[in-house]
C-alpha cells in the first residue's frame, strides 16, 4: 500500500497532497533540515482515499505539482 501525506501551510493558506516518497514530502518530514512548526503541519500517513477526503475539509489543498497524486476514481 502506498502512503500519502498532506502538508497544510497556515501562513500561505494552502497545501498539498504528496506521495510519501515525494522529495518534498520525505514521509511527512519535508525537505527542510529543521521544521519550526510555525508555518504549517504534516498530516498522515493516509491511504489515497483518506488523504483526498481529509484534504477536502482543509483550505486550498491541491495535489503536489511534483509527484502529482490523482484523486481516487
Separation of alpha carbons 20 and 16, rounded Å: 12
Question: Are residues 61 and 15 in contact, defined by beta-carbon separation less than 8 angstroms?
Answer: yes
pLDDT at residue number 73: 83
Alpha-helix residue ranges (DSSP H) falling in the chain: 48-55
Per-residue pLDDT of 15-37, as tens digits, reads 999 999 999 999 999 987 776 77
C-alpha cell at 73: 476514481
Per-residue pLDDT of 42-51, as tens digits, reads 999 999 999 9
Q: For the whole model, what pTM was predicted? A: 0.91
Separation of alpha carbons 65 and 68, rounded Å: 5
Amino acid at each position: 500500500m502506498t502512503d500519502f501525506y498532506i502538508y497544510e501551510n497556515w501562513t500561505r493558506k494552502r497545501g498539498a497532497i504528496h506521495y510519501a516518497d515525494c522529495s518534498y514530502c520525505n514521509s511527512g518530514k519535508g525537505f527542510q533540515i529543521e521544521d519550526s512548526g510555525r508555518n504549517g503541519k504534516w498530516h498522515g500517513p493516509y491511504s489515497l482515499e483518506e488523504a483526498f477526503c481529509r484534504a477536502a475539509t482543509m483550505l486550498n489543498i491541491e495535489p503536489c505539482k511534483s509527484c502529482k497524486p490523482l484523486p481516487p476514481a
